[in-house]
Amino acid sequence: MKIGKKLIISMLALTLGTMLLIYGGLYAIIGNLRDNIQKLYEDIRADAEQTIEEGLYAQDSDSLGVLADTQMEVTDSRLRIVSDAVRQSAEYAEKLYASPSAYMNSPYSPVHLSKAPDTLSARYMFSAGVSETRELNEELRLISNIEEIFAPIMKYNSRFFDNLYVGTSSGIFYQYTDNNVFRENYVVTERHWFLSSTSSPDEVMWKETEIDSYGRPCITASMAVKDAKGNIVAVVAADVNFEQMMSNVIGSGLGETGTTFILGETRDLVAYSDFMKDVEAHNGMYNAFENHFADPESVLKKIDACAFGDGEAFHAELDGKEIYMTAREIPSTGWLLCTAINAEEVTEPIGKVTAKSDELFADAGVEMSGEFRALIINAVLAFLTIAFVVVVIGYFISRTISMPIIRLTDTVKNTGEGDFDKKSNINTRDEIGDLARGFNKMQDDLKLYTENLKAVTAEKERIGAELNVATQIQADMLPRIFPPFPQKKEIDLFASMTPAKEVGGDFYDFFLLDENHLALVIADVSGKGVPAALFMVISKTLIKNRAMQGGTPAQILADVNNQLCEGNDADMFVTCWLGICDLSTGKMTAASAGHEFPAVCGPDKHFELLKDKHGFVLAGMEGARYRDYEIQLEHNGSIFVYTDGVPEATNVNGEMFGTDRMLEALNRSPEKEPEVFIKEVGSAVEKFTGEAPQFDDVTMVGMTWHGKNDEKTE
């Protein structure tokens, strides 16, 4: 069937079908009009409730954030005062122990804890099992000088402290407080504050809430004290005034149900509003996070994300109630301060808004039903008129569409058969005309593309052939016959290179300078591909020619560097390691121009990196100087040198192979021939990188020295 007939029939079928659908659906629409209006109302009401709820939560989120920031700053400042007091006291105590003779005439007379008054003052006791001696009394007289700093701290900051004290490794417990409870079994060196500070002596340590020996909730800050020799001799500590923290920080919250709580580093509760009630109800601590929160693992993740990430408030369930909360980090301790409000208090205004919206939508629904009915009738009449006009006009338009398409089809057939010269003669100003002109241009482009493709293909084949030749030339330049010196029983040599491209920038070489000296070279040229390969050829040739003239490795590298710097307009450079081994003694003199550290297998038959002194890269700076150093190879000892393609080999996750994995592979067969441990490293690199592409040349050289005139050992 022709396109014109299809177009007319399609338009008639579309018009008649649409009319039937409209009249058939009109009855259903009118019959279900009330239901549709009701559904519309419910959708709008649901959207309104959601919008209001989101607005309320957004408003409370801002309020929670401001409150949390304020409470965090207050809490941090209070804890920082305690931390600073402990640090200052510890520093003062270190002065006492650094110069004890200057403080032995102490003006302070310590009073035993059992005889101390109930007022704020200094007192002391000895740990259980510690006998009073002259040395202990002298240390007590020395440590009593700390009252000089304890007294003003407690006097002016008593609202932050319960007490301030110091315990010594010898068993003295000296404190400034108004509590004189004597504890006969008390051992200073076994207390948590003493043990934690001795394990981390250079920082103030915070101990999260626990019930202390007085039976009170306690938060403790402590810091170790060192003598002049750096030995830990005491620990200074302070107990935070828990009731002050509860009333000033935890007691303030947002709205009627707002609350605040603090999480420690272990993510247990340090303090919260019902802390004291729970302690009494459970006869001890009840501060484990999972005791209060449903799904504690998920809530902790959200708290960490809020405190250290986006700061967004979130929902959780606390003691059986849904809450809305946010969190902030307390910088001085690393603890987290969390502020929350019951979700019911946030959403309470929604009920009032919903009732009002029900009333408004009920009135609007009745009016909307009548207007919708009239709209449908008018739409049907308008559509019938438009459909008639479309069918009449479509008959005439179809003629203008179908004929140009037929002519364009003939042109497409000719093009498909390879005739690019026969063009379409359609000159209409519509889309078909644009298509015809575009097709004519496509014919010209295809013709040009075909010709260019032939030329590019030929050129690519030529370059590929040249690269194959270059790859073979490069491979031929490197020693590939092993063993390279079969008459030299003193050594075993093996090497391998896997280029990242057809040709690479890495190279290695080994050659005899005389009957008793062997030169070993490995280098890495900057860049990859043909430019690196050309620079590699020049570098390799210069190094070998200069080495044959004699001199130490440092002298050889210095001369080659100056030669490479001449005319180096491409700013290329080479990292290089050069070693000259005396085959009679196993002593190797070496120098490095910015190359990787060699790995040496010593007397323990274990490969380790030799972190030698690096000079500057070759061709990097004219006049650079290099330093010789010596490596004494043990009997049957080995050396392994490599390029950065080994430790920097990367897997699909972006992880590098690294020198640790390289040494692990080497030490699987440390007493084997170089061929064995080099293949071990190569296999380990391949297994590690997997499907990841190779971005750098991988080159390795290994040598084992068996000793003068010794046969190889299996």
Per-residue pLDDT tens digits for 117-166: 888 889 899 999 898 899 999 999 999 999 999 989 988 887 777 789 99
User: What is the mean pLDDT of the segment spanning 652-657?
Assistant: 94
Q: Indicate the pLDDT class of residue 627, thresholds 50, 70 and 90.
A: very high
* 151 and 69 within one domain: no
- What percent of the chain clears pLDDT 70, i.e. is strictly above it? 80
Placement of tokens 């490599």 in the chain: 642
Q: DSSP per residue over 230-275, as a string?
A: S-EEEEEEEEE-HHHHIIIIIT--STTT-EEEEE-TTSSEEE-TTH
Under a CB-based contact definition with an 8 Å cutoff, are residues 699 and 522 in contact? yes
pLDDT score for 290: 84
* 679 and 579 within one domain: yes
Q: Of residues 418 and 188, which shows the higher confidence score?
A: 188
Question: Does 370 map to a domain?
Answer: yes
Is 50 exceeded by the pLDDT of residue 714? no
pLDDT tens digits, one per residue of 575-608: 999 999 999 999 999 999 999 999 999 888 899 9
User: How far is residue 449 from each of residues 411, 435, 443, 464, measured CA to CA in Å?
Assistant: 19, 20, 10, 22
Question: Does 44 map to a domain?
Answer: no
Q: Indicate the pLDDT class of residue 664, thresholds 50, 70 and 90.
A: very high
Burial per residue of 574-602, b for 16 or more beta-carbon CB atoms within 10 angstroms, e otherwise? bbbbbbbbbbeebebbbbbbbbbbbbbbb
Range of the domain at 581: 482-705
- What percent of the chain clears pLDDT 90, i.e. is strictly above it? 37
Under a CB-based contact definition with an 8 Å cutoff, are residues 536 and 605 in contact? no
Question: Does 457 map to a domain?
Answer: no
User: Within 13 Å, how many C-alpha atoms sit on residue 683's CB side?
Assistant: 11
* 137 and 189 within one domain: yes
Is 80 exceeded by the pLDDT of residue 404? no
pLDDT tens digits, one per residue of 251-260: 666 677 788 8
Q: Where are the beta strands (DSSP E) in 105-252?
A: 121-126, 161-168, 172-177, 205-211, 217-226, 232-240
pLDDT score for 412: 74
Domain boundary pick from 372, 395, 411: 411
pLDDT score for 364: 65
Q: DSSP per residue over 195-207, as a string?
A: HHHHHSTTS-EEE
* 531 and 394 within one domain: no
Question: Does 665 map to a domain?
Answer: yes
* 204 and 93 within one domain: yes
Domain boundary pick from 195, 211, 244: 244
Q: Of residues 252 and 207, which shows the higher confidence score?
A: 207
* 491 and 599 within one domain: yes
Is 50 exceeded by the pLDDT of residue 212? yes
How many domains are there within the chain?
Answer: 4
Question: Does 459 map to a domain?
Answer: no
Arithmetic mean of pLDDT over the chain:
83
* CATH number of the domain residue 148 falls in: 3.30.450.20
Q: Indicate the pLDDT class of residue 518, thresholds 50, 70 and 90.
A: very high
Is 70 exceeded by the pLDDT of residue 464? no
Domain boundary pick from 317, 340, 363: 340
* 272 and 229 within one domain: no
Question: Does 237 map to a domain?
Answer: yes
Q: Indicate the pLDDT class of residue 500, thresholds 50, 70 and 90.
A: confident
Q: Of residues 54 and 316, which shows the higher confidence score?
A: 316
Start-to-end CA span in the chain (Å): 88
3-state secondary structure 471-499: HHHHHHHCCCCCCCCCCCCCEEEEEEEEC
* 363 and 234 within one domain: no
* 583 and 512 within one domain: yes
Q: Indicate the pLDDT class of residue 543, thresholds 50, 70 and 90.
A: very high
Question: Does 557 map to a domain?
Answer: yes
Give the Cα-Cα-Cα angle 163, 164, 170 (nearest 5 degrees): 125
* 661 and 586 within one domain: yes
* 88 and 68 within one domain: no
* 293 and 156 within one domain: no
Under a CB-based contact definition with an 8 Å cutoff, are residues 468 and 476 in contact? no
Q: What is the DSSP letter of 295?
A: S
Question: Does 142 map to a domain?
Answer: yes
pLDDT score for 711: 47
Distance CA 460, CA 532 (A): 21
User: What is the mean pLDDT of the segment spanning 474-489?
Assistant: 85
